[in-house]
């Protein structure tokens, strides 16, 4: 699966073998084994060993990634060395604020890096980060970004609007994937679905998640529905080149390419 086809990207502690085993039964598109916030300081080494073992076993068709600790953390260097020899598909780097951070990790790990944008500085540097060496995608770190911007925890996403769009623009300009941040209120199913829908409209490829219960909704919202796929197939069959009429609207080559991309996304999801 291409990274940009991923709809649901599930974070889980690399120190939790039961959660890792359960992830292999879930319909998520990516499993992200966390060595950072989800793991206590005294379990970092255990989590690293667990992550390397887990990606070696694999997650079936699912993409795999490992989120390492920031530069300067006691385990940062050991994590990079261990992941270089691992079977992980991607390395997730938190709190990125300049392209050099990504390049340094990429040069050691020799694996594509997904950069987390979690601060005002990160947002303003997103274009350079996205276009930099080794960067394969961007994650929004909305919780830390909200705090850095001084937005009250209970506030909605209005204060994040510019930042979200700026990061999406940076990713699209660099032709890389970009994913919305996590939703913390696990009991608010309606709120989660609404945030997924809002992120989809903005242009995010999918959403990062913190609980297995969030996977089906993310897959549904960010995945093309059967009707859209059927429409896309009819459009491709009908197109003969140039501008022409199709089912009451005008289409051209751009619409054919959009239809092909939608079908590829659906096929990647097995739909």
Q: What is the pLDDT of residue 269?
A: 78
Confidence of residue 266 (pLDDT cuts 50, 70, 90): confident
Is the separation of the CB atoms in 141 and 94 below 8 Å?
yes
Judged by DSSP in three states, 119 sits in coil
The pLDDT tens digits of the residues spanning 47-60 come to 999 999 999 999 99
Per-residue pLDDT, averaged over 241-247, amounts to 86
Q: Where are the alpha helices (DSSP H) in 93-252?
A: 99-109, 120-124, 126-131, 142-149, 161-174, 189-202, 215-222, 226-238
Integer Cα distance of 148 and 126 in angstroms: 16
Under DSSP, the state recorded for 110 is -
The mean per-residue pLDDT over the stretch 64-89 comes to: 96
pLDDT band at 43 (very low <50, low <70, confident <90, very high): very high
Query: 186-203, pLDDT tens digit by residue?
Result: 999 999 999 999 999 999
Mean pLDDT of the 245-260 span: 89
**Phi and psi, residue 78, nearest 5°:** -65, -35
Write phi, then psi, for 178 (nearest 5 degrees): -150, 135
For residue 36, pLDDT beyond 90: yes
Q: What is the mean pLDDT of residues 218-239?
A: 90
Domains and CATH numbers, the chain: 3-222 (3.20.20.60), 226-268 (no CATH)
pLDDT band at 33 (very low <50, low <70, confident <90, very high): very high
Look at the block and give the residue holding tokens 């960010």.
Answer: 222
pLDDT, residue 64, reads: 98
Model pLDDT for residues 138-197, shown as the tens digit of each residue: 999 999 999 999 999 878 899 999 999 999 999 999 999 999 999 999 999 999 999 999
Q: What is the DSSP secondary-structure string of 230-270?
A: HHHHHHHHH--SSSEEETTEEE-HHHHHHHHHHHHHHHHTT
Residue 265: band (very low, low, confident or very high) from pLDDT cuts 50, 70, 90: confident
So what's the pLDDT on residue 168?
Answer: 98
Residue partners of 67: CB distance under 8 A and separation at least 6: 11, 32, 33, 34, 35, 36, 91, 92, 93, 94, 116
- Measure Cα distances from 39 to 16, 28, 35, 73, 186 in Å: 9, 21, 6, 13, 20
pLDDT of residue 271: 61
Average pLDDT over residues 83-94: 98
């Amino acid at each position: 699966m291409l990274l940009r086809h991923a709809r649901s990207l599930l974070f889980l502690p690399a120190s939790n073998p039961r959660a890792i085993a359960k992830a292999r039964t879930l319909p998520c598109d990516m499993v992200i084994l966390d060595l950072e916030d989800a793991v206590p300081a005294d379990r970092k080494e255990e989590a690293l060993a667990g992550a390397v073992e887990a990606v070696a076993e694999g997650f079936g068709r699912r993409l795999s990634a490992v989120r390492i600790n920031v530069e300067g953390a006691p385990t940062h260097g050991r994590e990079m060395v261990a992941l270089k020899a691992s079977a992980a598909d991607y390395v997730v780097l938190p709190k990125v604020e300049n392209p050099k951070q990504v390049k340094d990790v990429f040069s050691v790990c020799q694996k594509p890096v997904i950069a987390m944008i979690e601060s005002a500085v990160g947002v303003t540097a997103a274009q350079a980060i996205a276009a930099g060496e080794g960067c394969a995608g961007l994650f929004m770190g909305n919780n830390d970004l909200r705090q850095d911007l001084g937005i009250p925890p209970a506030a909605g996403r209005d204060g994040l609007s510019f930042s979200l769009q700026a990061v999406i623009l940076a990713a699209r300009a660099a032709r890389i994937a970009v994913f919305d941040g996590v939703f913390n209120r696990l009991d608010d199913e309606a709120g989660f679905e609404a945030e997924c829908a809002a992120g989809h409209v903005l242009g995010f490829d999918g959403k990062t998640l913190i609980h297995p219960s969030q996977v089906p909704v993310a897959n549904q919202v960010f995945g093309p529905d059967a009707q859209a796929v059927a429409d896309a197939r009819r459009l491709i069959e009908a197109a003969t080149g140039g501008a022409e009429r199709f089912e009451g609207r005008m289409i051209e080559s751009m619409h054919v390419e959009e239809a092909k991309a939608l079908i590829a996304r659906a096929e990647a999801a097995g739909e």
